[in-house]
């Protein structure tokens, strides 16, 4: 069976990699792209995009009405991605969402809509399989070493902080340890924010620098020892195996799932 795919954000770093991946897969067919400009044009008309005749739409609903798509892959920005995902579900298109920064309310809203429509979907803050394992191992470690800090490092074009992966890691850690206030009870910040963001007593530090892609280290401390669990994505290709798997899996699902670990 050929899965018809629409990609939102084809000019972006992730989106352009996804266009490449979908074109390479025999059982996928790229049927359209959603962009915030170039409406009515074709990918081949845009200099940095592949020389193929794939239509570009600015309006999501028109795109879904005219293309008979099975799956939407969204790699854009949070608020837009929420609207795209909602429109996809309303048009019986299954979402595979890599865009990070959805709020709890938005996630619940989308899950409910998918359930009503009995449509599969996946929102994953990190499609790199190694990163999913890093989160899983962190959850295991927190049971025995509850003092933990998360250091995530990304390129300086990233808009949300902490990263979706750091938030997901913190949520998983929260499930395997009780609330714990870390550091010295009387610690004071000379510069505001020096100790990072606080979540359930753990600290999350976000580094943004050119040259970085997506990196995270979860550091656990216990008497006389530390444990570091670290993952690095060196380029956007690292996310494509996960997106490919998700496109296939959502065709079999009847609900919207959050987190790649739930389909592995």
134 Cβ neighbours under 8 A, 6+ residues apart: 169, 216, 218, 229, 230, 231
Q: Examine the residue annotation and report whether 158 is marked as an active-site residue of this protein.
A: yes
CB nearer to ligand NAP: pick between 19 and 145: 19
What's the min distance (Å) between Cβ of 19 and ligand NAP?
11
Interaction of residue 214 with ligand NAP, rule CB under 6 A: yes
DSSP state for residue 118 in the 8-state scheme: T
- Which position among 127, 146, 168, 246 is part of the footprint of ligand NAP (CB under 6 A)? 127
Q: Are 100 and 74 in contact (CB under 8 A)?
A: no
Does residue 110 contact residue 88 with C-beta atoms inside 8 Å? Answer: no
Residue 157 neighbours by CB distance under 10 Å: 9
From 154, 168, 205, 244, the catalytic residue: 154
Residue nearest to ligand NAP (CB): 12
Asked whether position 76 contacts ligand NAP by CB under 6 A, the answer is yes
Site for ligand NAP contains 12 (CB under 6 A): yes
Asked if 114 and 256 count as a contact pair (C-beta separation under 8 A), the reply is yes
C-beta of residue 7 within 8 angstroms of C-beta of residue 19? yes
Please tell me which residue in 86, 136, 155, 158 is annotated as part of the active site.
158
Minimum CB distance to ligand NAP smaller for 146 or for 164: 164
- Token pair listed for 21: 């991946």
Which of positions 44-63 make contact with ligand NAP (CB under 6 A)?
none
Q: Which of 3, 15, 87, 170 touches ligand NAP (CB under 6 A)?
A: 15
Considering the complex, state which of residue 12 and residue 162 has its C-beta at the smaller distance from ligand NAP: 12
Q: Is residue 188 flagged as an active site residue?
A: no
The binder of ligand NAP chosen from 80, 129, 133, 245 (CB under 6 A): 80
Calpha distance 183→195 (Å, rounded): 9
Residue 35 as a binder of ligand NAP (CB under 6 A): the answer is yes
Token pair belonging to 124: 């994953």
CA–CA separation, 74 vs 117, rounded Å? 19
Interacting residues with ligand NAP between 97 and 126 (CB under 6 A)? 98-100, 124-126
Choices 3-11, 43-51, 109-117, 187-195 (CB under 6 A): range interacting with ligand NAP: 3-11
Q: Closer to ligand NAP at the Cβ: 2 or 58?
A: 58
| Strands of 71-162, DSSP E | 71-74, 94-97, 121-123, 147-154
Contact residues for 111 (Cβ-Cβ < 8 A; gap 6+): 255, 256, 258
Tokens matching residue 180: 């714990």
Q: Which residues are catalytic?
A: 154, 158
Contact residues for ligand NAP (CB under 6 A)?
8-9, 11-15, 34-36, 75-77, 80, 98-100, 124-128, 157-158, 214, 239
């Amino acid at each position: 069976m050929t899965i018809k795919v629409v990609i939102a954000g084809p000019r972006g770093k992730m989106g352009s990699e996804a266009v490449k991946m979908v074109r390479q897969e025999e059982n996928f067919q790229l049927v359209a792209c959603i962009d915030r400009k170039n409406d009515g044009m074709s990918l081949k008309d845009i200099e940095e995009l592949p020389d193929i005749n794939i239509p570009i739409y600015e309006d999501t609903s028109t795109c879904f009405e005219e293309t008979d798509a099975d799956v939407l892959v969204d790699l854009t920005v949070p608020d837009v991605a929420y609207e795209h995902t909602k429109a996809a579900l309303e048009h019986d298109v299954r979402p595979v969402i890599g865009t990070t920064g959805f709020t709890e309310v938005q996630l619940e809203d989308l899950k409910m809509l998918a359930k009503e429509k009995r449509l599969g979907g996946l929102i994953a803050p990190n499609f790199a399989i190694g990163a999913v394992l890093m989160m899983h191992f962190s959850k295991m470690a927190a049971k025995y070493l509850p003092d933990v800090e998360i250091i995530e490092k990304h390129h300086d074009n990233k808009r949300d902080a902490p990263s979706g992966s750091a938030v997901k890691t913190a949520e998983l850690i929260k499930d395997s340890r009780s609330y714990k206030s870390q550091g010295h009870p009387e610690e004071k910040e000379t510069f505001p924010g020096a100790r990072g963001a606080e979540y359930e007593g753990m600290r999350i530090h976000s580094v943004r620098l050119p040259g970085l892609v997506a990196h995270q280290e979860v550091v656990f401390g216990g008497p006389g020892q530390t444990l570091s669990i670290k993952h690095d994505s060196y380029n956007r290709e690292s996310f494509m195996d996960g997106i490919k798997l998700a496109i296939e899996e959502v065709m079999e699902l009847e609900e919207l799932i959050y987190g790649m670990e739930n389909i592995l």
